[in-house]
A and B are shown apart, each in its own frame.
Chain A
Amino acid sequence: MKAWIPLLLRFCLLVLLIAFLTNPLWFEPLLKPLTQNGAPAIYNQGSLLSLALLHLRTVAIATVAAMVVAVALAILVTRPVGAEFLPLSRSLVNIGQTFPPVAVLALAVPAVGFGEKPTLIALFLYGLLPIFENTLTGLTTTPANIVEAARGAGMTGWQRLLKVELPLSVPVMLAGIRLSVVISLATATIGSTVAAKTLGEVIIAGLQSNNLAFVLQGGLIVAALAVLIYDALSALERMAARRMGQVAQAA
Chain B
Amino acid sequence: MSIRFDKLGVAIAAITCYGAFVAPFATFRANRIVAGEPRSIIEALPQPLGLVLLAILVAAGLVALFKTPLGARLGGSVVALASLALLIGLAGSHLTPEGNTFARISPASGFWFLIFSFTLLLADVLTRLELSPVGRVVVLVAAAVAIWLLLASGQWDSLSILKEYANRADSFWNEAKRHVQLALGSLVAATIVGLPLGILCHRVEVLRDGVLNVLNIIQTIPSIALFGIMIAPLGWVAANIPGASALGIRGIGAAPAFVALFLYSLLPVVANTVVGLAGVPRAANDAARGMGMTGWQRLTNVEFPLAFPVILTGIRIVLVQNIGLATIAALIGGGGFGVFVFQGVGQTAMDLVLLGAVPTVALAFAAAIILDAVVEYLATRKSAEVALA
Render B119-149 as a binary contact track against A, CB cut-off 8 A, 1 for contact: 0100110011000000000000000000000
Return B20 CB to nearest CB of chain A, in Å.
19
Asked if B231 is at the interface of the complex by the 8 Å CB criterion, the answer is yes
Contacts of A101 in B (CB 8 A): 324
Is B22 in contact with chain A by the CB < 8 A criterion?
no
Given A84-B7, A193-B345, A223 contacting B331 (CB threshold 8 A) = no
Q: Report the Cα distance A149→B345, complex, angstroms.
A: 58
Give the chain A neighbours of B323 by CB distance below 8 A. 100
Of the stretches B221-229, B241-249, B271-279, B291-299, the one at the interface is: B221-229
Q: Is B38 an interface residue (CB 8 A)?
A: no
CB pair A189–B345 under 8 Å, yes or no, is no
B220 and A99 contacting across the interface, CB-CB below 8 Å: no
Residue from B231, B331, B353, B367 within 8 A of A109 (CB atoms)? B353
Q: Which of B120, B345, B354, B365 has the most CB of A within 10 A?
A: B345
Residue B357 interfacial (CB < 8 Å): yes
Residues of B near A85 (CB, < 8 A) are 7-8
Residues of B bordering A, CB below 8 Å: 7-8, 109, 120, 123-124, 127-128, 217, 219-229, 231-232, 320, 323-325, 327-328, 331-332, 338, 341-342, 344-345, 350, 353-354, 356-357, 360-361, 364-365, 367-368
Please tell me if the beta carbons of A189 and B232 are within 8 angstroms of each other in the complex: no
Whether A102 pairs with B220 at a CB distance below 8 angstroms is: no
Contact: B350 with A109, CB < 8 Å? yes
Residues of A within 8 A of B124 (CB): 88
Q: Does residue A106 face the partner (Cβ distance < 8 Å to B)? A: yes
Residue A190 lies at the interface, judged by CB distance under 8 Å to chain B: yes
The 4 closest A-B pairs by CB, nearest first: A219-B225, A100-B324, A215-B228, A226-B220
With an 8 A cutoff between CB atoms, is A145 at the interface?
no
Q: Is the CB of B361 within 8 A of A98?
A: yes
Question: Smallest CB–CB gap between B348 and chain A, Å?
Answer: 8
10 residue pairs A–B, Cβ–Cβ below 8 Å: A84-B7, A102-B327, A103-B324, A109-B345, A193-B224, A200-B224, A215-B231, A216-B228, A219-B222, A227-B220
User: How many chain A residues touch B (Cβ–Cβ < 8 Å)?
Assistant: 48
- Choice from B219, B232, B354 contacting A107 with Cβ under 8 Å: B354
Q: How far is the CA of A222 from the CA of B221 in the complex (A)?
A: 7
Whether B328 lies near A219 (C-beta < 8 A) is no
- Decide yes or no whether A87 CB sits under 8 A from chain B: yes
Inter-chain contact A106/B341, CB cutoff 8 Å: yes
State whether B361 touches A216 (Cβ < 8 A).
Answer: no
Known: A102-B338, A222-B221. 5 other contacts (CB 8 A): A34-B232, A100-B360, A203-B222, A215-B225, A219-B226
Beta-carbon contact of A212 and B324 below 8 Å: no
* Contact flags A71-98 to B (C-beta < 8 A → 1, else 0): 0000000000010110110011011011
Check B127 against A190 for contact (C-beta < 8 Å). no
Residue of B325, B365, B367 near A95 (CB, 8 A) is: B365
Please measure, in the bound complex, the distance between the C-alpha atom of A85 and the C-alpha atom of B123, giving whole angstroms: 12
CA distance A163 to B328 in the complex (A): 46
Task: Indicate whether A212 sits within 8 Å of B231 (C-beta atoms), given known contacts A88-B8, A103-B357, A107-B357.
Answer: yes
Which residues of B are found within 8 Å of A95, using beta-carbon distances? 123, 365
Chain B neighbourhood of A130, CB < 8 A = none
From B224, B320, B325, B361, give the contact of A189 (CB < 8 A): B224
- Chain B proximity mask over A211-224: 1 for CB below 8 Å, otherwise 0: 01001101110110
Instruction: Let me know if A46 is at the binding interface, CB within 8 A.
Output: no
- Indicate if the CB atoms of A215 and B220 lie closer than 8 Å: no
Whole-angstrom CA separation of A98 from B360 in the bound complex: 10
What is the minimal beta-carbon distance from B117 to any residue of chain A, in angstroms? 13
Closest to B346 in A: A193
A103 contacts which chain B residues (CB < 8 A)? Answer: 324, 327, 341, 356-357, 360-361
User: Could you say which residues of chain A place their CB within 8 Å of the CB of B227?
Assistant: 207
Task: Tell me which of B217, B320, B353 contacts A223 (CB under 8 A).
Answer: B217
Chain B CB count within 10 A is highest, among A110, A111, A185, A226, for A110
Name the distance in Å between A2's Cβ and chain B's nearest Cβ: 15
- Assembly CA distance A109 to B352 (angstroms): 13
